[in-house]
Structure 1
């Protein structure tokens, strides 16, 4: 049951997420191509320079939580049940998306986004394994 629901929702969810990454949340086209390649430091700097906790939660936790569903891709593509292959595939894909943000100037290519998004996928993968072991009767 959960697998069928996931298969039904993951494509519209992915399209919604791409919308947010390129057009949503007040996005605009930057005048220059922007890139942030300092892992972790740019996120710490963002947290330090941001006054509102709401912005911190939306940006930092959002970059993790919004990607948890991709940890379940093994339900659609059996080869992605293995974490190593899932991460290789996901990182390759998210680098392409970040590059598109850079080249279209509709976002910033940020290494921290890649790290946070990948952490979300790892959490999703762990959550999928937990669900399969604990609630196997609901997964089919």
Structure 2
């Protein structure tokens, strides 16, 4: 892949990353669909790891599949694009940087929800969001390896073709 194409991909990655961050902030803090219409009068928080995960799993029949899925898997799924776009848009492409920034964004969102009383601060969400960022990074690494492999095959084919001439 030539330098011009790489710059275009990085620019696209930056645009998608910024759009995604705006989307996630809106969705997790302001979205009516996600139950952000009212403001609590008290602070709501969970500081016990796995407490809410266990509760949603144990009471999945009572809370319903959608609520259980949204809480357990939605928190992972919504951060997968973050873990994918961050290394795509940044020069920092390390696993540790992606996990750190995934945790950082999640911590900011959870803290804002606590302070504004428009949700609850939940350490389980921090864990699940960070796992989503990690999963996105793994998808990025796989895609980058496939791209490098394809580029390598194209170069070999081009080299063989040039030898024949």
Normalised to the residue count of structure 1, the TM-score between the two structures is 0.87
What's the RMSD between the two structures over aligned residues? Answer: 1.9
Gaps of 5+ in 1: none
Gaps of 5+ in 2: 1-7, 152-165
Q: How does 1:82-93 map to 2 (within 5 A)?
A: 82-93=94-105
User: 2:116 & 2:16 partners in 1: Cα distance?
Assistant: 27
Aligned to 1:125: 137
Point out which structure has higher relative CO (alpha carbons under 8 A, 6+ apart): 1
Q: How many residues align?
A: 137
Runs of 4+ in 1 over 6 A off after TM superposition: none
User: Is the CA contact 2:20–2:82 (under 8 Å) kept in the aligned structure 1?
Assistant: no
User: Is the CA contact 2:83–2:102 (under 8 Å) kept in the aligned structure 1?
Assistant: no
Quote how far apart the aligned CAs of 1:4 are: 4.5
Answer with 1 or 2: which has the greater Rg. Answer: 2
Normalised to the residue count of structure 2, the TM-score between the two structures is 0.75
User: 2:59 & 2:112 partners in 1: Cα distance?
Assistant: 27
